[in-house]
Amino acid sequence: MDAQGEVIPTKRYWDQGGGTLQDASAHWGLQTEGKNYPAPWRLNIPSLLIELTGKVSFAVDLGPVPQIGQTWDLNTPFDFAGHKLVVQKVEMIQSEKSGPCLTFTFAGDPEIFRIGSVSDPENPSVHIDGHVSDADSGTISSSFCYDQVPLGTRSIDVYLVDILQQGPWLLDWRPPE
């Protein structure tokens, strides 16, 4: 918005160049068709997606002869960087391209948007191409695959959780002349 309250037309773009070691964040920008709008400009950011990293582990016992299609109800609560999560269930599915996969269903605090990295550190597979879904349905799923059906008790690690932090944040800015 410009100083008179008029919306400034913008186009959003992403800088694919990456960050530095000090700033590994994603880079984005807004482009206008010129600077012919009275300053200061007010940028309104309605929400931010914040990536939290860490490591939390939990166990799942698949038993001696797990089967594709089998489900294990866990309801195991844990805390990830101050946010409550529950591993509700685990299901073994068959991926057409990658082999057997474990799909984890989570529930948690309402600001949790995505569980971005779940893995089995003992998994020697090169087919770790699981999927992630967001929390639109009230649950979040994440999965990864194995070369062959995994057996017994598996230690599962969660490394990354994205939360949606609602704003708004307002920033007044004067474009250079």
Is 10 a domain residue? yes
H/E/C letters for each residue in 35-64?
CCCCCCEEEEEEEEEEEEEEEEEEEEECCC
* One domain for residues 26 and 91: no
Give the range of the structural domain holding residue 18, as residue numbers without chain letter.
1-38
Is 117 a domain residue? yes
Helix (H, G, I), strand (E, B) or coil at 27: strand
Q: What's the token pair of residue 85?
A: 């999560």
pLDDT tens digits along 107-164: 988 888 888 889 999 987 755 555 555 556 678 888 889 989 999 999 999 999 988 8
* One domain for residues 83 and 121: yes
Is 173 a domain residue? no
Amino acid 77: pLDDT? 95
* One domain for residues 135 and 159: yes
* One domain for residues 106 and 159: yes
Is 177 a domain residue? no
* One domain for residues 67 and 131: yes
- For 111-123, the DSSP string reads TEEEEEEEE-TT-
* One domain for residues 1 and 63: no
CA angle 78, 66, 115 (to 5 degrees): 30
Helix (H, G, I), strand (E, B) or coil at 1: coil
Q: How many domains does the chain have?
A: 2
For residues 10 and 46, give the distance between their C-alpha atoms in angstroms, rounded to a whole number. Answer: 16
pTM: 0.76
pLDDT tens digits along 7-60: 999 887 765 555 444 444 556 677 888 888 999 999 888 888 889 999 999 999
* One domain for residues 64 and 125: yes
Is 169 a domain residue? no
* One domain for residues 62 and 148: yes
* One domain for residues 34 and 120: no
CB neighbours of residue 62 within 10 Å: 18
* One domain for residues 156 and 71: yes
Is 172 a domain residue? no
